[in-house]
Each structure stands twice: as structure tokens, then as C-alpha cells.
Amino acid sequence: MLVGAPSSGVMTGVQQVALDSDVLLFAAPAASPAITGANWNPNTFRICRNTFQDFLAFAPYATAELGNKFVILAIDNDFGRASAAAAGVLASAGIEFVSEPIYAPLETTDFTQYLQQVLDSGADAVLPIWAGDGSVTLFQQISELGVQDQMAVVAAFNSNDIVALSDPSNIGNISWIVYHYSFPDNEINDWMVEQSRALYDENPDLFTECSFATAQAMVSAFSETAGDTLPETVIPVLEGMIFEGPKGTYAIRPSDHQTLVPMYIARLDNLDDPDQLFYELLAEVPAYQIIPPILLPEAVAAERVPMDEEFNAEVAAMGEQ
């Protein structure tokens, strides 16, 4: 089987390799909606979130905190473009995008021309969509150009090491975050934190949870198949699986193999806590409240969406408990 990778662009290429090789692929932590959408294949599962879940979690906070006119600055690759499209769900919360997304190449080191377009847009808030080392440079230049003095800067909170390097002007920002080790209150997360510290002498980071939950799903499925890892044996076991993980309840949607997961809204409180306790938790958003759309190709969706009927009833019941 294959597990990975951080890059959504790499992941969409690996999906075909998994299919051609007749092995399972667990996409983690690549977040492009295309992985379980336009690029879907039956051998691919994602136990992690996609960026639709990011924006669905944040939507209720967006207009209340930031105004209703947004502009997007995104990395010009599959992740950036698919995530910019996913951000369209913010329109349901009353957000208006004042222009088409502004795209900058992956290798950009001077963001001035792109940030000037942002400043000229008249938006109340800019939504930077970036991944990788370039994000440090981007946010340094956002600060240097005083973008935050003219509009809100709204971006997902990043990994612990990158957050620690943030400009102090970011303190007080409210945004969504995939995971922080201090947020969940359950025995599974406690155990994972304990083991991470014992094995690696560090706290779990942004995507530790996603990888751990992926491993949980794999172990559970292979236990049921007596160790058989062939796709035709394992796929029916994984489809519809609901289990408890570090963030709480995870549910693998049968039709597109996208997992429904909880998310978090937090406020950045500091940049220098010795235990990396950088945030104030404002809300845990349950998985059943942020269900991403099914983006399968039309013909595939017509065949597979009916598979979700029983699963949808189980997810709906979560909200009634």
C-alpha cells in the first residue's frame, strides 16, 4: 500500500500509480478536494480533511469577525486552485469575493506585485492559500507591506515551527486549524501525545493526528481482513467505517472515500510558549456540521452516491446525540 503525501500535486499523480499497481493509497495530508473529487479512483482513501472542511468550519466566524468582502491570494498549483474554488462555500455565509483569485507561482520569493493587487482590491479581508516553506516569506512580506493595517489577514494556522516564526502582528488573529495537540480531550489523543513525546521528544504537530488516524483505519481494516491488503478485500471494509480517533469521531464516506472529521477555530494568543501552547480554543466543530460536497465526476457520482444512504443516516444521528 502507499501512504502520503503533503503535496496535492504529487498526490494526484500517485493516485494513478496506485490504481495501475492495484494497491491501496491513503492520501495524507494532501488537502486538495480534487483527490476525492475529479481525480477520484476506488483505490484512494483520505482519512484527513480537505479544504472544503476548512472553509465550512470557518464560515460562521467570517462575516461576524471580518466583514463581507474578501480577496484570495493563492499558490498557483493544484492545491491552490482547488482550495480557492472550495473557498466559494464562504458565499453561503454572506461573503463576497471582490475579484477572481490572485495566483502566484510556487517559486515566488517577492510577493510585492501580488500583494499590491490585494491592497488595491478594496477587500475587508485577504485569504492567503499557501503551503510549504514559501508561506514564511509570504507572511513576512504581508507584515512588511502593512497589509494587516488595511484589511484582515485570514489564513489557516500552520505547523508549530512555522507559527513560532510568525510576525507578532498576527497575535489576536482568529482562524481555523486542522489540529493542535492541546485541543482534543480524549484518551486516544492523550496516548498519542504521550507516545510522540516519548519517541520523538516533541509534541504532535499539525498533521500528526491525520497520520495517526490513517494508521488507525488501516489497522482496523486489516484486522478485519486477516491481514489481506488487496484492494478488492479492503475497500468494502473501509467504506462507511466510523471510528474514534485523536480528534473524536471520524466517518469514511462510502461514495468518494472522503472522511468527515472535526475541525477547530482558535485565536492566536502568543508565539513563544515553551510547550507550543500558542492558542485559545474558541470552538470545536463536529464532523457532521461540516460535510464537504461530493465532487465526483457526474457518471461516477450517479453510480456511487446511492451508496451513502445508510451512512448519511448514521452521520445525521451523530447530531442528535
Q: In terms of CATH architecture, what is 2-53+182-319?
A: 3-Layer(aba) Sandwich (3.40)
154-189 pLDDT per residue, tens = 999 999 999 999 889 889 989 999 999 999 999 999
Could you state, in order of their start, the residue ranges of all structural domains in the chain?
Answer: 2-53+182-319, 63-153
CA pair distance 57, 196, nearest whole angstrom: 27
Class of the CATH-defined domain 63-153 = alpha beta
With 80 as the cut, is the pLDDT of residue 132 above it? no
> For 56-70, 104-118, 173-187, 269-283, which range has the lowest pLDDT when averaged over its residues?
56-70
Contact present, 179 and 207 (Cβ < 8 Å): yes
Burial code (b: 16+ CB inside 10 Å, e: under 16) for 19-53 equals eeeeebbbbbbbbbbbbbbebbeebbbbbbbbbbb
Q: Provide DSSP, 125-167.
A: EEEEE--STHHHHHHHHHHHTTHHHHSEE------HHHHHTS-
The pLDDT tens digits of the residues spanning 232-246 come to 999 999 999 999 999
Question: Is 63-153 the same fold as 2-53+182-319?
Answer: yes
Helix (H, G, I), strand (E, B) or coil at 110: coil
pTM for the structure as a whole: 0.93
